[in-house]
Structure 1
Amino acid sequence: MSETHNNPHLSVVEALYSGHHGWLYATLKRKLGNAMDAADLAQDTFTRILASQVTVIDQPRAYLTCVAKGILVNWYQRKALERAYLEALACVPAHEVPSPEAHFVVLETLHEIDAMLDSLPPLVKRAFLLSQLNGLKYQAIAEQLGVSLITVKRYMKQAFVQCLMLVD
């Protein structure tokens, strides 16, 4: 007996893929206007579903749409971050432009930082950004957010702990 028949999860994913991959690909291609990105995102959708260990899917297209939307949001965020980095690079003198390898490392690091910031609760993220990007002192952050100084210190500790987890 094949592995697919012994594993209900693989059977579900196999049926989902064979029955709906073409539809998902066409939907993504229409939305993105790009066959390569649509193919990549369709594969990412099925990869995420495969990793999920789901064994029952009552409404396959609704389920695929939901998973694909999450992947699409991440993809758009990644593209926006890459565009912002490239715009900033355009202002750098040619002799200071990083090598392709360094360029890749910087983009990967930016994606990790962005994901870390997105994992923070909204007020923690805002306090951290006010401190790190705007240079505000903790008391000014407390006043702007309408929280106590001790709360801002707690927020900052939480954000810095998340940053340290990136380093590990």
Structure 2
Amino acid sequence: MLNNILQISHQPQIEAMFMKHYKEWCLLSYSYMEDMSEAEDMVQDVFVKILNRKKNTEILDLKSYISMAVRNTSLKKIQRTKKTEQIKDYNLFALSPSHEEYLIDFENKAKISDALRILPEQSKRVFELCVLEGAKYQNAADVLGISINTVKFHLKKAYKILRFTLRKTYF
């Protein structure tokens, strides 16, 4: 049937494949997602990506290709949601630090703050943007008007100085 060579540009054949095997792929995704609406979204996302591809590559077995894409998309979604899950069902009183832990944490923050003041100005700005604020290297480079390699250099330099300065500090 469609197991022979099929180019991505054959949209009617892809649509026919979608109509014929949609429920099958939804069940496949559901076996990972455990939520049918999420599973349907995963299958639809896969087909949108396939139809919007600009490459004119050949696919030897379209059904297997789509099955693997649905599986991989579902697994990636699960990984993303696990990373963003909040802490649940913990006793917040048990997690609250004691006065002693609070003082140790305060001292460590003071040591880190002192170590950050030692950094050269450009390295400090790069470190604050990339590490403390979570900016991507490209964004930091654009903000500071420097190249990505310069950002990497200043981060490496900052980490080296901080490691040396804080080598006797236990966190």
- Per the shorter chain, which TM-score range? 0.3 to 0.5
TM-score between both structures, scaled by the size of structure 2: 0.43
- Structure with bigger RCO (C-alpha 8 Å, 6+ apart): 2
TM-score between both structures, scaled by the size of structure 1: 0.44
Rg (Cα) greater in structure: 2
